[in-house]
Structure 1
Amino acid sequence: LMGIAAAGMAHALGGDTVAACAGMDIPPLWKFHIGYLFGVKYYDLKMGTTTNFLWTYTGTFTDPSIGKEYTRGLLEQGAKVVYGLAGLTHLGSFEAVKEWHKTTGELVFAMGQDASQEWIDPEHIPISGAKRVDVAVYTAIKMVVKGPWEGGIITLGLKEEGVGIWDIDGVKWFAEQASSAGRLAPELTPDKVADTVSQLRETYITPEVWDLIHDLEDDIKAGRIVFKTPMTHDEYESIISALMAAQSLEDLNVALEKGSVS
């Protein structure tokens, strides 16, 4: 879903390149890589565009200076949108994007992940991917209280509302928490953050892009398509290579365990 949004924003900004500043080359990030690239290619094949795709591993989740350095390199290669997938490291991505706009006059965007991060810089972060830890905690408590309780790993996806894209209510809520903690910039209020992000989304994420996002989201929630989880690095690289070379919607099915897109 974030790949569709990124590609749409890049073209709305007059560019043709999206990027990601990722943490370490580990299985959870493989899934992000596949999903992000799938979304970008899905957008291109539906809209008849061509979007360049850049992905870099920084090797760390804890060093904003590294994130800033790597993101500057991505921007120099033409990236209009940079997806932060590196924890504390991609806080440096946000700095790089803001500085790039200030020094070059070229508007570029960053995208956050897990918590809504728009409040950090609402003029340059119009959207964040959601990881709903609150939903996971509530689900675990509910299993204990109401049963049945089973140990092990439970995956909460789009259908279970464990992941997704933060809506404006979520953006405002996180801005309120930041304000209460004294972390929101003094010139901002939660309402101003929400209004700024709403305006950016209205300007740079067109209704056609939202339609593509919702169509794919519906297919995932309904179980009509299920993405592969690569078990080895070779399998991961094979899927990425095939997606990069995709020339038709049918070619994207290499990333799917179940179902197809057309």
Structure 2
Amino acid sequence: MKFITAFFMAWGNFITLPCPYKKWDGGLKNMMLAFLPLTGAVIGSIWGLVIWSMRSIDAAQPQGLAVPSPLAAVLAVFLLFALCGFMHLDGFMDCNDAILSRRPMEDKQRILKDSTVGAFAVVTLMFLLLTWYACMSVCWDKVPCVTFFMIPVLSRSLSGAAVMRHRPLGTSQYREDYRQPGKWKWHVMNGVLCAICVLPALALAYRQSFLRPAILMIVEMAVTAGIAGRYARRQLGGMSGDIAGYMICWSEFAGIVTLTVTAGN
């Protein structure tokens, strides 16, 4: 029963779709983080299905109907962020506001929790979304949909592992769970669930002659998430949910850029 509760806690927190089972247990936060790959699988499945549907409409072109590539790119980018309520973009913006202020750490931590939006957040968000749009315009109809499915699975697995592993900020909602005994098993569960989702997807990518780009995407996402997380923790003094969102946005950015480069060659 705890596993069911933890999974739907993750659903209710990180997916905007209506949660079928609403129950909260504050002692299951680490288990909830272990289920992040499955929330990514839900998001990735819907995202991939919508992209596949737009491709099918474009291929069939009934009565001249087709989805123009610019519109398809906008819809694909919007949907990925909308399915999680834009919360990871919020963390990305907060972290950039704090880090790029170049102020002492105490001021950066204060800026991180400030609800107002600063110039650095706006500028970095603009360039992030512009790059996402440019990439999706190129690759939305050239990359196997199963590869898109893997992006939110991997990014959430990496960020969930980082939240469990690294010392949290004093203001983080996860500070009370950091020293919970037996946390190693939730790390293992996170990795196993990620593998269960990703390995069949890799097999399908292999069947579609897209295995090497998919593996390169995984490597780039893991490296980028690691670098972004380490940099943000050193700048801000610890781990937090905002930094997890920062890691997700950077790793997914690396994933879509890698797919665009490989699809364009």
The normalised TM-score by structure 2 is 0.27
More strand by share: 1
TM-score by length of 1: 0.27
Q: Which has the higher contact order (CA 8 A, sep 6+)?
A: 2
**Richer in helix (by share):** 2
